[in-house]
Amino acid sequence: MTHVPVLLQETLEALAVKAGGVYVDGTLGRAGHAREMLRRGAARVIGIDRDDAALAEVSAALDGMSEATSGELILRKGCHGDLAEIVRAEGMEEVDGILLDLGVSSPQLDDASRGFSFRADGPLDMRMDRSRGLTAADIVNSRTAAELTEIFRTLGEEPHSRRIALAIEKARALRRFETTLQLAGLVERIVGRSGARHPATRVFQALRMAVNDELGELSRALVGGLGLLKPGGRFAVITFESLTDRMVKRFFADHAGRMVSLQQGGARWEGVLPRVRPVWRRAVTATVEERGANARSRSARLRAVERV
Ligand SMILES: C[S@@+](CC[C@H](N)C(=O)[O-])C[C@H]1O[C@@H](n2cnc3c(N)ncnc32)[C@H](O)[C@@H]1O
């Protein structure tokens, strides 16, 4: 179970990793990106993840990493929504760069017992932090059809949300939903199969986002992270769904602002503080080579800004 970091070179360029710099990786995973930051000379990387399995694996691999770098990787269990508090608790007020590589990791997806996959049978869990919170089964078995419709529509952008929610309500009256394939099978029966995408893709995405409050986490991480950046510091975010990409794009655009011409002459900047400038005008996507080698990279979009 390996995790190949996506858009690795592009991310390092986005962060402009420099020798002696201090960085935050708010989605440490298997530390694919964090290791490279250290190899490029970063003095310190604070690696945050809410998944105990990810932290345990990186911790076990730390010895091998120290040979290649002189920098320090500080591991912290927590949510990136709290990244500002986590960094300040380390006695730091400012950092040179922040990375969020959102969503689920390959090891999480490949381990059927985590419940993220609609291809392998496992408990309908989907919690990145298995020590707390509601599981996907809790949500599927307890929410009203109207609430499930709303979750599938807003977080999954699923066009058949209501039909699926009503079918769930009917089916769970006979038997609780406990497993991934039970839910994936029901969605497939309701929606049918067309195209290469599994028909349950959007429903699973919506449940994963609801279980882990991914939009709330992202929103708090963006606000908290921007407040931590030094002038010239960089914020890079990799997303895998249009919903989260739009959120990042809007947040960065609001802080990049725009110049408005004044009647009396000259121009004035209008936007939300602190001010940033985009590193690239558009989102960066994977090259043809990377798409061929790593299927996960196909939907990846990287956006980055610099604090001015
Ligand atoms: C796509 S993986 C990151 C992979 C990593 N960049 C690498 O190269 O190995 C996303 C990771 O972020 C973690 N994660 C997702 N949401 C989180 C949150 N709100 N707070 C902390 N960690 C989170 C997941 O548990 C997962 O390990």
Residue 1: band (very low, low, confident or very high) from pLDDT cuts 50, 70, 90: very low
Is ligand 1 within 6 A of the CB of residue 35? no
Average pLDDT of the chain is: 96
- Which residues span the domain enclosing 285? 8-107+214-307
pLDDT in tens, 112-135: 999 999 999 999 999 999 999 999
Q: Look at residues 151, 186, 211 and tell me which one is the last residue of a structural domain.
A: 211
Ligand 1 mean position to 162 CA, how many Å?
A: 31
The percentage of residues in the chain with a pLDDT greater than 90, rounded to a whole number, is: 93
Q: Do 202 and 226 lie in a common domain?
A: no
d(CA 158, CA 163): 10
Atom of ligand 1 at shortest range from CA of 3: 9
d(CA 95, CA 86): 12
Report the domain count for the chain: 2
Is ligand 1 within 6 A of the CB of residue 245? no
d(CA 239, CA 102): 5
User: Can you give the pTM of this predicted structure?
Assistant: 0.96
Q: Do 78 and 13 lie in a common domain?
A: yes
pLDDT in tens, 54-87: 999 999 988 777 656 789 999 999 999 999 999 9
pLDDT in tens, 147-157: 999 999 999 99
For residue 300, how many other CB atoms are within 10 A of its CB?
24
Looking up residue 163, the CATH number of its domain turns out to be 1.10.150.170
Looking up residue 52, the CATH number of its domain turns out to be 3.40.50.150
In this predicted structure, the answer to whether residue 254 has a pLDDT above a threshold of 80 is: yes
Which tops the pLDDT comparison, 67 or 258?
Answer: 258
Residue 4: band (very low, low, confident or very high) from pLDDT cuts 50, 70, 90: confident
Ligand 1 mean position to 163 CA, how many Å?
A: 32
Is ligand 1 within 6 A of the CB of residue 302? no
Ligand 1 mean position to 283 CA, how many Å?
A: 20
